A = this chain, B = another copy of it.
Amino acid sequence: MSGPTESTVDATVDVPSGRPARTATPAPGDPGLARLSLNQKTTDRWSVAEAVAGCVRAGLPAIGLWREPVRAIGAAAAARLVADAGLRVSSLCRGGFLTAADPVARARALDDNRRAIEEAAEVGAACLVLVVGGLPEGSRDLAGARERAADGIAELVPYAARHGVRLGLEPMHPIFCADRGVLSTLGQALDLAERFPAEQVGVVVDTFHVWWDPDVLAQIARARGRIVSFQVCDWITPLPPDALLSRGMMGDGHIDFRLLRRAVEAAGYAGDIEVEIFNADVWAADPDAVVATLSRRHVAEVLDD
């Protein structure tokens, strides 16, 4: 673990690929970093304090927080850490999991989401990311799960509004439809979001989840005023054995990031670009090296040439 001012990273090698870095690491203050956010799941072994320090060392102005590490120190302490470091909180991940049919499980889920809303307010997150949940154990009623997710969102919106928290509905890649998120396309997420005012419910555009969608550019255009978060990571092949950890570093896979970034910007999004990578090889690497690589790749793969 490095302190906030030192970094012993080898800036000439990309992780996890092990390939030579093709560009220099942008230094703190570089305009290429102006909107770059580290989703802390990308450096999974770092605590909030460590991730905040890592962002400061690398010159990243924003961080995406996760509830578990935030609760490990308390939302108030997390809020102080990011405020003292001068970071924006681009998102809090995550609420949702609202598809239970059982009334007790449903009440528990709603209650947990109210806590998530309170935490998002306390850390000053630009949005609370919601992953709506998959099919309940043993159920094949996909339409029913989708309806219950929508009902749950409707129940949470007034609470979120009272706390000044914007909800972000995250469509998930269809690979996760059964077990994580029955919201499968951006169009479907917008159908749901549009039932509510844009300042209360928006959508999360995560390249990993939406890149394959033949309708993605039209739906991003439709999402004007509703895009609350833009998250990036790559689709790599062969797909790693654990589908949950199958995300890649930008540039290691098949996604055209510029195309999607330009589309969200054309739709009015000017917020942070958050790098969120679930991947065992990324997690095994030195977190400072991960941040250095994603900073380089952000400039080389996501921003304009």
Contact = CB atoms under 8 A, between A and B. Distances in A.
A211 interface: yes
Chain A binding surface SS class: loop
A184 B213 CA distance: 7
B243 A174 contact: no
A149 B254 CA distance: 18
Interface in A213-268: 213-214, 235, 237-239, 241-243, 253-256
A179 interface: yes
Contact of A214 (B141, B146, B173, B178): B146
Contact of A212 (B174, B212, B253): B174
> Looking at chain A, what size class is its interface with the partner chain?
20 to 34
Given A173-B174, A178-B253, A184-B212, 5 more contacts: A140-B256, A174-B213, A178-B254, A179-B237, A184-B214
Given A188-B214, A214-B184, A254-B135, A235 B178 contact: yes
Contacts of A235: 177-178
Most B-side CB within 10 Å, residue of A173, A184, A212, A237: A212
Interface in A95-147: 135, 140-142, 146
A22 B160 CA distance: 48
A135 B213 CA distance: 14
A177 B212 contact: yes
